[in-house]
Amino acid sequence: MRTVVFNQKGGVGKSTITCNLAAISASQGLRTLVVDLDPQGNSTRYLLGAAADEARDTLAEFFDQTLKFTLRAKATEEFIAETPFEQLHLLPSSPQLDELHGKLESRYKIYKLRDALAELDGRYDRIYIDTPPALNFYTRSALIAAEGCLIPFDCDDFSRRALYALLESVQEIQADHNRALQVAGIVVNQFQPRAKLPQRLVQELIDEGLPVLEPYLSASVRIKESHDAALPMIHLDARHKLTQEYLALHEALQAAATRKARRRA
């Protein structure tokens, strides 16, 4: 199962959601891969810590290779880095992805990520793809490569207004490039249950029939400590309320994936 975490708005928790769901998958024995397509490399740093600065075979090298014709091309698995967490691997980001963007777009290498991840289907049970905060070449590549799309929502009116355009973008990719792509759900992040605005905004999304997932992810300073320690919540504090919410969210996504697989069978 390949899942892309996508929102054109920055600061909504894409990398945090990607890495925490992936860490839970791995902790439950599922062979899991994180693909970090954001040149900022937040997922890479979250999972590797200081070792992120030493990453050599990154996605920049992978995409650069697609621009060249060579008989000695590296297999996709050669770009995969190990993380400190058992069963959890990473295709790391690099700032050089920014430099390659224009060349990749002009040469229409939009299907290369899909083809590369297809090579890994037998190796990984779950693949989570982190994306930049823009509908650019890398994000489109991820949506074309994925089966499910998770949309983080951070409970403000700007996010709500952007959500409709975002859903239209996903539908366009689905119609033109990837019939298998489905919106797996909207993940409510940084939720404050005692504040009236978040409650109202989320309820309005539900009333409109949008696929809002439960549970909602609470706002907590503990997540910043998790970033600082380069430890996803399941490894930093397994009993914390936010960790339990992530576990419940992961379970709900697993159940949905199982139902989908049964329908295909």
pTM for this entry? 0.95
Provide the β-strand partners of residue 88: 32
Contact between residue 154 and residue 189 where contact means Cβ atoms under 8 Å apart? yes
- Choosing among 3.30.70.360, 3.40.50.720, 3.90.550.10, 3.40.50.300, the CATH entry for 2-264 is 3.40.50.300
Q: At what angle do helices 137-145 and 157-176 cross, to 10 degrees?
A: 60
Average pLDDT score over the chain: 93
Query: What is the pLDDT confidence band of residue 59, given thresholds at 50, 70 and 90?
Result: very high
Nearest to 116 by CA among 160, 76, 65: 76
**Measured distance CA(234)–CA(244) in Å, rounded:** 9
Output 259 or 214, whichever has higher pLDDT.
Answer: 214
Q: Residue 265 has what pLDDT?
A: 63
Instruction: Kindly report which listed range (110-124, 148-162, 206-220) carries the lowest average pLDDT score.
Output: 148-162
Copy the structure tokens of residue 165: 């355009």
